[in-house]
Amino acid sequence: MSGKNPTRRVLVTGAGGQLGTAIVQAFAASWDTIGLAHRELEIADARAVQRAVARHAPDCIVNCAAYTDVDGAEREPARALEINAFAVLALARAARAGGALLVHFSTDFVFDGLADTPYTEADRPNPRSAYAASKLMGEWFAEEAEPAYVLRVESLFGGPAVLHTARRSSLDRIVDHLAEGKPTRIFHDRTVSPSYAVDVASAVRTLVDRRAAPGLYHCVNTGAATWYDVALYVQGRLGAAAPLERVSTDEVRLPAARPKFSALSNAKIVAAGAVLPTWQDAVDRYLSARSSAARLSGFGVN
Ligand SMILES: NC(=O)c1ccc[n+]([C@@H]2O[C@H](COP(=O)([O-])OP(=O)(O)OC[C@H]3O[C@@H](n4cnc5c(N)ncnc54)[C@H](OP(=O)(O)O)[C@@H]3O)[C@@H](O)[C@H]2O)c1
């Protein structure tokens, strides 16, 4: 054996999504990176999953595919379970059979939001919606792989895909409204830890490259704020004058319940070596990236 590290191969499912594009970008520099978008791999098809894993023989599988329509899952809970839980079981079994590490993503929505200090990995989940229950089951099934990282992320923004497509996160909708001078209605009673997809992807690389202990991690930017405070921050950074209107979650009747308090503690993943700057720092970098992308395509954000 030479002393060189052989090139390692990563297979990314859901590679066309917000986080998937960021993960592909984060690994591409030094891993043999195979990104499969939905049209290239349907993860609910267990045989197709087995074939893809056998064909590409990855050292690591990063599953970014998910049923992410939180309200839609109330109407079609079986589809949410099929993709967010049973497809994860198929991926975990294929990973185990092929000797691959599995990285899977879950959500702050597994908590009921009744806490008043940031949730840690030791806190007990209590999902309040079909989406949240399907994601919690996915966490359990992911553990079938050996080893597996299950990373809870939340309020994602800024995957490279969103710079160039119409797909927009909550943060993007706030930026769009402010930039267009439109009034924006914002929850003042939902506390979140907004997370930059680019930082999440970099944290995944760190865990995998350092072979951190397998298990469950909260993978979010540091800090927390209400959506209203996040919007105020963005308004200040853009120098926008458009008004922000405070609304409460009780005033807006959405099909799926949202946890009111979703701050997650990232202390465990930071102790494992991941760098997760404050959400304000992340928003600043994302606004710069958005502005540069807009200039390149002939549109401005402000
Ligand atoms: N976005 C957030 O704020 C947030 C918060 C908490 C947790 N998460 C979790 O983070 C992960 C990534 O989310 P994201 O924001 O990147 O979501 P996203 O942008 O909606 O990406 C999900 C990707 O999965 C693909 N997909 C859906 N069903 C599939 C299937 N059956 N087989 C293969 N691919 C499929 C979608 O393709 P099509 O669009 O073509 O169907 C899409 O490209 C998910 O596990 C999600 O639950 C996200």
Tens-digit pLDDT profile for residues 168-187: 799 999 999 998 999 999 99
Mean pLDDT of 15-40: 96
- Residue 199 CA to residue 159 CA, distance in Å, equals 10
Q: Can you give the pTM of this predicted structure?
A: 0.95
According to the model, what pLDDT value does residue 298 have?
A: 47
According to the model, what pLDDT value does residue 45 have?
A: 98
Predicted confidence (pLDDT) per residue in 125-160, tens digit: 999 999 999 999 999 999 999 999 999 999 999 987
Residues 90, 112, 234, 105: what is their CA dihedral angle, to the nearest 10 degrees? -10
For residue 271, the CA-to-ligand 1 centroid distance in Å is: 27
User: ∠ CA 25-31-37 to the nearest 5 degrees?
Assistant: 50
Atom 38 of ligand 1, residue of closest alpha carbon: 38
For residue 278, the CA-to-ligand 1 centroid distance in Å is: 24
Give yes or no: 67 in active site: no
Predicted confidence (pLDDT) per residue in 83-115, tens digit: 999 999 999 999 999 999 999 999 999 999 999
Q: In angstroms, what CA-CA distances link 98 with 10, 50, 89, 108?
A: 12, 9, 14, 30
Predicted confidence (pLDDT) per residue in 200-246, tens digit: 999 999 999 999 999 999 999 999 999 999 999 999 999 998 999 99
Q: Are strands 32-36 and 9-13 parallel, antiparallel or unpaired?
A: parallel
Task: Give me the DSSP letters along 236-277.
Answer: HHHT----EEEE-TTTS--SS---SB--B--HHHHHTT----
Q: In angstroms, what CA-CA distances link 118 with 47, 53, 227, 301?
A: 40, 37, 16, 33
Helix, strand, coil shares, percent, the chain, to 5: 45, 15, 40
Mean pLDDT of 62-91: 98
Mean pLDDT of 296-302: 45
For residue 242, the CA-to-ligand 1 centroid distance in Å is: 31
Nearest in space to 17 (alpha carbons), one of 62, 50, 54: 62
pLDDT at 299 over 50: no
Query: Which of 11, 12, 13, 18 has the most ligand 1 atoms within 8 A of CB, as the residue to mutate?
Result: 18
According to the model, what pLDDT value does residue 4 have?
A: 42
Atom 34 of ligand 1, residue of closest alpha carbon: 38
> Which is catalytic among the residues 67, 119, 131, 196?
131
Atom 24 of ligand 1, residue of closest alpha carbon: 65
